[in-house]
Structure 1
């Protein structure tokens, strides 16, 4: 193995260690115990969650009403009365809403509001034993070219909770495997990096049913490295409360990608 390949493999190992630390952190992916949609909340109550939850009359937010016996705090102060809330987009451990060790995060998707519960004592977190992955293979480090669409697009795809939702895509990532060209629809993140949902010949058998890719921001000429050794398990592989999108049409590769993360290991 060349020195460059050895360095890439060491970087990959460090990335794997960081991934395991991130998902198993007190408020990492493994600590999500549920996503509760207010439209399904009977009389404004969510099972196992204190307070009364209601969408505002204009649909622009949520009103939470609770008393001192409910044990909720907002911005570090005990809640006694009603407080208006909007979607919380910051880090989970910095959530405005706290109930004991749990963090309550307000979520907004396509006009609907929900509350997510993050608990360091979640069973999935306590049972976590690591992330199984294929061995590193430099052949899966592929040169690619990003071709932006030039306009915002959205495709409807099923999600892990059985609901179909829009998935934003900003362009195609083109590359070659075994002399054959392929392309994947991907989104452009605020920092310029790319994100996509893919499946392949291992999906559902040798690996989870679909995975994420997160290539870096393309160069000025559109060139970018697609390292499939860093194909990620989606959050819903770690906790059922996530509503991960499935791959859009055309994003299922017609061959096995024996690279990247495969499954969650438990004790």
Structure 2
């Protein structure tokens, strides 16, 4: 890579880092998550931290609320009963709100949960920065995507201690300092890739695991593996996320001293 190209890559990385910090610190960013309440833990339908009555009904949830609950649905004060599906858009676009809080419905492997996003969360007030290592061209290398013949699902522990399925569509192979490495990846709907990985810094000078999201591979399978853009997972910002741990084989033997490392509070 030429000097000019390296300088441009460093500028692009700085812009990316600034945007990431702004996204994390946004009113409904990951720092605002104050609870993930699984309805199976509340068979009577009353969640102490969340107003309303929430009841599973097949592939929907029935919310019942009175005036004393102070809820709104679709931006309007709500009383009565409404059937709801999982929220899949931006947090601030969720159907149910309680004042400034957004109550987001989540469905995982047949179980329902209500997530409570509060812009006034203690974590958001305390946050100062994402500690990250400045761009280094050493960590941006060519790789190759090797798709599996058929998608695979492996069971991995999640951050909440529960084992869940993680879908994998292939692996990326790349070399660092002459040594080849591989990471198993999921293939997103737009063709981009997603890896959950750990390395020799994990739990020491960086969070216990990180994410990597390479762009969609070219037609020949070539893809850039840029570890400068290793991401902290959402559970690094709030304990109530259920991020998957790295699948077997996705712990690199080297120290990846690049990308996002830790959350910094003040």
Q: Which residue of 1 aligns with 2:110?
A: 111
Q: In structure 2, what is the equivalent of residue 215 of structure 1? A: 214
Q: Does 1:192 find its partner at 2:181?
A: no
Taking structure 1 as the reference length, the TM-score comes to 0.97
> 1:10 matched to which residue of 2?
11
Measured in 2, the distance between the counterparts of 1:50 and 1:102 equals: 11
Match of 2:88 in 1: 89
Question: How far off is 1:172 after superposition?
Answer: 0.4
**Structure 1, residues 128-182: CA drift from partner, whole Å, max 9, x if none?**
1010012321100010000111312110000000000000110000111222221
Q: What displacement does 1:113 show?
A: 0.3
Aligned position for 1:137? 136
Structure 2 counterpart SS, 1:4: helix
In 2, the alpha carbon distance for the partners of 1:19 and 1:47 equals 33
Q: Could you say which residue in structure 2 is the equivalent of 1:52?
A: 53
The separation in 2 between residues aligned to 1:163 and 1:48, in whole angstroms, is 22
2:36 is aligned to: 35
Matched pairs, number? 265
Task: Output the aligned Cα RMSD.
Answer: 0.9
Q: For residue 148 of structure 1, what is the aligned residue in structure 2?
A: 147
- Deviation of 1:25 after TM superposition, in Å, equals 0.4
- For residues 6 and 38 of structure 1, what CA distance do their matches in structure 2 show? 51
1:161 is aligned to 160
Partner of 1:20: 21
Q: Secondary structure at the match of 1:44?
A: coil
Question: Offset of 1:45 from its aligned partner?
Answer: 1.1
- What is the CA–CA distance in structure 2 between the aligned matches of 1:50 and 1:186, rounded to whole Å? 39
SS at match of 1:18: helix
Partner-residue secondary structure (3-state), 1:16: helix
Question: SS of 1:62's equivalent?
Answer: strand
Q: Distance in 1 between matches of 2:192 and 2:161?
A: 28
| 1:179 aligned onto 2:145 | no
The answer for unaligned runs of 5 or more in structure 2 is: none
TM-score by length of 2: 0.98
Q: By how many angstroms is 1:42 displaced?
A: 5.0
Unaligned 5+ segments in structure 1 are: none
Residue 259 in 1 paired to residue 258 in 2? Answer: yes
